[in-house]
Amino acid sequence: MMKKIIFGLAIAATTLAACNSNSNKSTESQNRSKDTQAKSQTDNATITTSSVADAKNTISIKEIVSTYLQLKNALTRDNTTDAATAGTTLEAAFKNFDKTALTAAQKKTFEDVEDDAREHAEHIGKNGGNIVHQREHFVILSNDIYDLVKTFGGGQVLYKVFCPMYNNGKGAFWISETKEIKNPYLGKAMPTCGEIKEELK
Amino acid sequence: MSFTKKLLLAIGIAFIAIQFVQPAHNKSDHALSTDILKIVNIPDSVNAILKNSCYDCHSNNTVYPWYSNIQPMGWLMANHIKQGKEALNFSEFGSYSPRRQLSKLNAIANSIRDDIMPLSSYKLMHKNAHLSTNKKTIFINWAQQSKDSLSGIN
């Protein structure tokens, strides 16, 4: 009995060790097979109903902006969980954006913004529960979104709002869909800090 | 054999068995054109800090300590290095978009200021990775200056 246990332990340890070196590969192939599965499921769905895959490929700048605004509004409410969800959605929106319709110059601007903004969106998504850190990333993300809107338009009237108090008096701006000031950096503690600096049409 | 003896033997066998699984080393001989050295100016004082406190996990070249050859230490390190390089790789800094480079320099300065980096577990094993207040100031100022010079070009 005891021998069996020990033998089993040794085998388990060896297998575990052997698996470790292959673990990256195997999870990769697992993911890939999951992707293929998901894909064939969507393909089946496409036949009967409208396509999910197509919808994914037609993410517009307007949708990116509206997801950003959801994130912004979650932060104004001090809601770190909603902010994280919106961050993850925003990362996916950047990833699924269809760049084929862009001119070479537009593509360059978009990719420059995308490379940076995706990472900030991802961090915000992963830091549910740490709103201070989410807000730090939101500063640079807002800068990215501003440049995106400046280049491509936001699909709606937007405002650049600046709050001089945040970050020990260094200040930071955000993009808002309303003239009413609701501060995403200070949240409920100081909701009305902010001044409209620019109207983006 | 008593139970304890058998257990020890089993652990011993397992320990020997795992030694045969060595993770690949993070070593690259040729300097890439994307290395941060080629992108921004790095004074000697900053270069020393980068080498002693950052590059083991944030570049394509790790200086391995002796215990990295003993498992599972080597596995843990390989995992740390993988994560570190994903977040920031100084050897591939030039492949980031101009905007992301600025963003990274910002994050570098913040993580040093807030003592998030170097990781305390890393400092425990690498005494010379610890940054004095003076070194931190030098490093943060360098990150700031690099940011300014890069944004001037872009």
Does residue B97 sit at the A interface (CB-CB below 8 Å)? yes
Does the structure show a pLDDT above 70 at A195?
yes
Overall domain count for chain A: 1
- In this prediction, residue B147 carries a pLDDT of 86
Pairwise CA distance, residues A115 & B91, whole Å: 17
- Tell whether A37 is covered by a domain: no
B37: distance to nearest CA of chain A, Å?
A: 21
Q: Is residue A175 part of a domain?
A: yes
Residue A148 has pLDDT above 80, yes or no: yes
Range of the domain at A162: 62-200
The closest of A83, A80, A114 to A98, measured between CA atoms, is A114
Structural domain contains residue A111: yes
Q: Is B124 on the interface with A (CB under 8 A)?
A: no
Q: Is B84 exposed, middle or buried (0-12, 13-18, 19+ CB in 10 A)?
A: buried
C-alpha dihedral over A16, A19, A23, A25, to 10 degrees?
A: -170
**ipTM exceeds 0.85, yes or no:** no
What is the distance of C-alpha A54 from the center of its chain? 20
* pLDDT digit string (tens) for chain B, length 154 residues: 788 999 999 999 999 988 888 888 888 877 788 888 888 889 999 999 999 999 999 999 899 888 888 888 888 889 999 999 999 999 999 999 888 999 999 899 989 998 889 998 888 888 889 999 999 999 999 998 898 888 875 4
- The rounded radius of gyration (Å) of the Cα atoms in chain A is 23
pLDDT, tens only, B59-76: 998 998 888 888 888 888
The minimal CB distance from B75 to the residues A9, A20, A120 is found for A20
- A30 within a domain of the structure (yes/no): no
- B29 φ/ψ angles, rounded to the nearest 5 degrees: -80, -45
Instruction: Please give the interface size between A and B, counted as residue pairs whose CB atoms are below 8 Å apart.
Output: 56
Angle at B87 between CA B30 and CA B32, to 5 degrees: 15
Task: Record the pTM.
Answer: 0.71
Pure H helices in chain B: 3-18, 44-49, 55-58, 73-87, 98-113, 120-125, 133-153
CB-based contacts of B90, cutoff 8 Å, min separation 6:
B35, B36, B50, B54, B55, B58, B59
Report the range of poorest mean pLDDT among A27-41, A111-125, B44-58, B116-130: A27-41
Predicted pLDDT at A58: 56
- Asked, for residue A53, whether it belongs to a domain, the answer is no
Report the distance separating Cα B148 and Cα B154, nearest Å: 10
What is the tens place of the pLDDT at every residue in A45-80? Answer: 434 333 344 444 456 888 899 999 999 999 999 999
CA distance B99 to chain A (A): 6
Q: Which two tokens stand for residue B28?
A: 């690259």
Q: What is the pLDDT of residue A140?
A: 92
In a domain, A27, yes or no: no
Q: Locate all alpha helices (DSSP H) within chain A, ordered by sequence.
A: 2-48, 52-57, 61-76, 80-96, 104-126, 131-152
In a domain, A183, yes or no: yes
Q: Is residue A10 part of a domain?
A: no
3-state DSSP assignment of residue A194: coil
User: Is B99 near chain A, with CB under 8 Å?
Assistant: yes
